[in-house]
Amino acid sequence: MTQKPYIVDELISAKAIAARVEALAKEISTFYADTDKLVVVGLLRGSFIFIADLVREIQLPVEVDFLEASSYGNSTVSSREVRILKDLRGEIAGRDVLVVEDIIDTGYTLKHVLEILETRHPRRVEVCALLNKPSRRETDVQAKWVGFDIPDRFVVGYGIDYAQRNRNLPHIGAVRFTEEN
């Protein structure tokens, strides 16, 4: 597959992300203060940097697990067909679960993941998303904690990719295809 040439314009700085992650972790630590161990479920692959930074700031005992779901492939738009590529290794029945998502766009992936997790009878499940595109939402899913609301732009960086590129950027950038005016 040949990719169209593109440029990445910085949308959210690394410094702004770090400050927001610290604030989110404080709110999450307060909310879950009564739990003996929080199960933090990262949705791969886009959340891996966010989850690493977030759990280092959470002031509670945490267990980290991962689930990989995909609805994008190498496209810039959701296919709305969610595939589970990797399931959890641990049990979540009766446990407090925090799902960590990189971005909520249409909401189909997160809705599907939450439905799966609820069948496993956790004590409670909440969501923390680094990015939220409310203008694109097609489902009724919401995150309890959101890092940043962003406009309807395709973004990369801080773990988020376009066809497996740009995950290593320290900031969030908006993709601008060079054919655009």
Name which residue leads in pLDDT, 147 or 76.
147
The predicted pLDDT at position 80 comes to 64
pTM: 0.90
The predicted pLDDT at position 3 comes to 72
What are the two backbone dihedrals, phi and then psi, of residue 111, each rounded to the nearest 5 degrees?
-60, -45
The predicted pLDDT at position 181 comes to 46
Cα 23–chain centre separation: 16
The predicted pLDDT at position 71 comes to 66
DSSP, res 74? T
Which stretch of DSSP H or E encloses residue 167? none
In order of their start, the domains of the chain are: 13-152 (3.40.50.2020)
Mean pLDDT for the stretch of residues 24-39: 97
Spatial distance between the Cα atoms of 16 and 133, rounded to a whole number of angstroms = 18
Strand ranges of the sheet holding 6-12, from the earlier edge strand across to the other edge: 6-12, 172-177, 155-156
Catalytic positions: 105
The predicted pLDDT at position 178 comes to 87
Q: What is the pLDDT of residues 110-165, one digit of tens each?
A: 999 999 999 999 999 999 999 999 999 999 999 999 999 999 999 999 999 998 89
